[in-house]
Amino acid sequence: MPFINTKTNIEISKGKEIVIKQKLGKAIELIPGKNEDGLMVSFEDRCSLYYKGESDKPIAFVEVMILGTSTRDAYQRLTEAITTILGEELTIAPGQIYVRFEETEYWGCGGKVN
């Protein structure tokens, strides 16, 4: 039950959303036990984001939330994949992308807590 939310200060076309969503669906498999079947993805484009006091370059803040825990190594691999995806699809430089991970013990879905 992972959730990936991508915020950026640039526009993301519907076509790019679909491509990025598909690539994130594969990338989430870098976290053991996770796959696209339970993945929810969200995009927030044209956000008011500033990095180092500036907003004149493409910037992204990506939140990855998962049920349970994982390892630093798995998060490293996923960070690399997310950075590559956003670089290829949105031309965002690696140094302009933050990725935040959040682990949770409980997650509700379908009216039940897992």
pLDDT tops 90 at residue 114: no
As to burial, measured by CB atoms within 10 angstroms (0-12 exposed, 13-18 middle, 19+ buried), residue 64 is: buried
On whether the CB atoms of residues 93 and 58 are closer than 8 A, the answer is: yes
Domains and CATH numbers, the chain: 3-113 (3.30.429.10)
Helix (H) or strand (E) holding 92: none
User: Per the confidence metrics, is the pTM higher than 0.85?
Assistant: yes
Q: What are phi and psi of 85, to 5 degrees?
A: -60, -50
- 21-78 pLDDT, tens digit per residue, is 999 999 999 999 999 999 999 999 999 999 999 999 999 999 999 999 999 999 999 9
